[in-house]
Amino acid sequence: MKKNINKLEQNLGFKVGSVNLYINALTHKSADKLNNYEKLEFLGDRVLGLCISKKLLEIFPNEKEGILDKKLASLVNKNKCYEIGKQLELDKIVKIGNLMLKKQIIEKKIVSDSCEAIIGAIYLDKGFDFVEKFILKSWDEHIKDKNIVIIDPKTKLQEYSLKKFKILPTYKFISNTGPKHKPSFKVAVKLKNTSFVEANGSSKKMAQQAAAKKLLNLLNEKLWNLKIKDFL
């Protein structure tokens, strides 16, 4: 693992302090059920969101909250973290279990999760100012890119569910009412730890998007009450 840490230091551009933090950040739970990147990933996800949110407010001080939220979602999603993770060559140094090794390819999600875990490790090892500089440098081109891809609510909810529960959200078709020229579809959606949330739309797809957005809003309200304690 020392060889992997040396490679990571080369790609990060600095010497790490607490080596064990980065070892955990590079370890998938299939390789070690206790000492792996899951808690650091949780922390890194929040640190990344805070740093990018802060930067967006500096760049777009007069922008509406809804637009800023969409810009943020496009910058901290799994695909973007995967891109940064590939730049750091995490796919070549992350440690996985023997069963997963047989696949001969590191899953995209593992690289993305490890990237967030590295951010969490840097925060605990070097502090907020240091990790903020690292994030802004790594995400610089993406932040400046005006062609930001907007992540729709259904995709956003799917990413959240896969990350937190490792399963997809459950959608349920309820009804189709109204005349043929102006139908109204009702759809419900739930996550593993929620009850069904209903919404209407002019098509089944639109109803699914509306339901996903409604559930995301409810989740965001609950997140305000979360307090981050010790992670290690």
Q: pLDDT tens across 66-80, in order?
A: 788 888 888 998 889
Q: Tell me, yes or no, whether 130 and 175 share the same domain.
A: no
Answer yes or no: do 36 and 88 share one domain: yes
- How far is 219 from 212, CA to CA, in rounded Å? 10
CATH assignment of the domain containing 181: 3.30.160.20
Q: What is the pLDDT of residue 228?
A: 37
Strand order in the sheet with 170-177: 170-177, 184-190, 197-201
* Residue ranges of the chain with per-residue pLDDT less than 70: 99-106, 146-150, 222-232
Query: Which residues are designated catalytic?
Result: 45, 116
Assess if residue 228 is contained within a domain: no
Q: How far is CA 106 from the centre of its chain?
A: 18
Provide the whole-model pTM: 0.67
Please count the other Cβ atoms lying within 10 Å of the Cβ belonging to residue 31.
17
Asked whether residue 169 is assigned to any structural domain, the reply reads yes
Question: Cβ distance 227 to 203 under 8 Å?
Answer: no
